Amino acid sequence: MADADKPHAVVTGGGSGIGLAIARELSAMDFAVTLMGRDPDRLARASTELPNAQLVPCDVTDPERVGAAFAEAVSGAGPVSVLVNNAGIVRTAPFARQSDADWDAMWRTNVLGAVHCTRQVLAPMRDLAAGRIVSIASTASLKGYGYVSAYVASKHALLGLTRALAVELAQTNITVNAICPGYADTDIIRDAVETIAERTGRTEADARTSFTSSNPQGRLIDPMEVAGTVAWLVSHDARSVTGQAIVVAGGEVM
């Protein structure tokens, strides 16, 4: 059960990977945390390590469901002071084989998902002492990569949304920022490594170097490094930081 006396943070896609790491960090900072995601079983597994988290199944692409989910979240844990737009998907294919359905899915999840959730929190957030919107974008918000054109376009759009909202809300108590991780050690990358190994006959260790080699530090980002950046962005010290794309990528983008 969430604690209504604590400030309330909602993490979309909070049941796994980077979102779960962020939820852990915010919970350790004494936020009441709500995890949203489509798969209730995934949320339930996450709650074994975060027993106080509020679990609200929600598909962020569905605006009606998002409205109902935020109503449920707020009734359990109070107005949202931190929204982390983390839910995201990637589908990999050469541009010529990326279908309209792929483009639609990535646009609806990676961009409209953040739009739907942000819409739900903005008005009540203005009445709080401070509000924070943090979107988990990507280095793909700042540079191109091959075979993921729809993903790169959607992540550029998510950063554009962040920058525009930051200007629009600059005179309020709300900051809006994006974190741009490089390749991180989560299921998205583990699945991609498996796919590359299957399709090319390379070993998984060799396929993994496709991802580690783009990071000058030669490694994948630990999701807790992204979570630590969220912790700073939601702190009082970061109240003048808005509209930023904070890169956590071992120097891949500078």
Q: Active-site residue numbers?
A: 151
Q: Does 188 bind ligand NDP (CB under 6 A)?
A: yes
CA-nearest of 197, 96, 189 to 140 is 189
The reply on whether position 187 binds ligand NDP by CB under 6 A is: yes
Over its C-alpha atoms, the chain yields an Rg (Å, rounded) of 18
By CB under 6 A, tell whether 241 contacts ligand NDP: no
Measure the CA dihedral 21/27/29/31, to 10°. 130
Q: Which residues contact 82 (CB under 8 A, 6 or more apart)?
A: 7, 8, 9, 10, 26, 31, 131, 132, 133, 134, 234
Q: Closer to ligand NDP by CB, 43 or 128: give it.
A: 43
109, 118, 215, 242: residue in contact with ligand NDP (rule CB under 6 A): 109
Separation of alpha carbons 183 and 33, rounded Å: 26
Out of 59, 102, 225, 252, which residue is the one contacting ligand NDP (CB under 6 A)?
59
- Which x/- pattern over 22-51 shows residues binding ligand NDP (rule: CB under 6 A)? --------------xxxx--x---------
Which has the closest alpha carbon to 133: 88, 110, 154, 163? 163
215 binds ligand NDP (CB under 6 A): no
User: Minimum Å distance from CB 247 to ligand NDP?
Assistant: 10
CB of 135 to ligand NDP, least distance (A): 8
Q: Can residue 250 be called a binding residue for ligand NDP (CB under 6 A)?
A: no
CA dihedral 159, 245, 164, 175 (to 10 degrees): 130
Which residues of this chain interact with ligand NDP, rule CB under 6 A?
A: 12-13, 15-19, 36-39, 42, 58-61, 86-90, 109, 113, 136, 138, 181, 183-184, 186-189
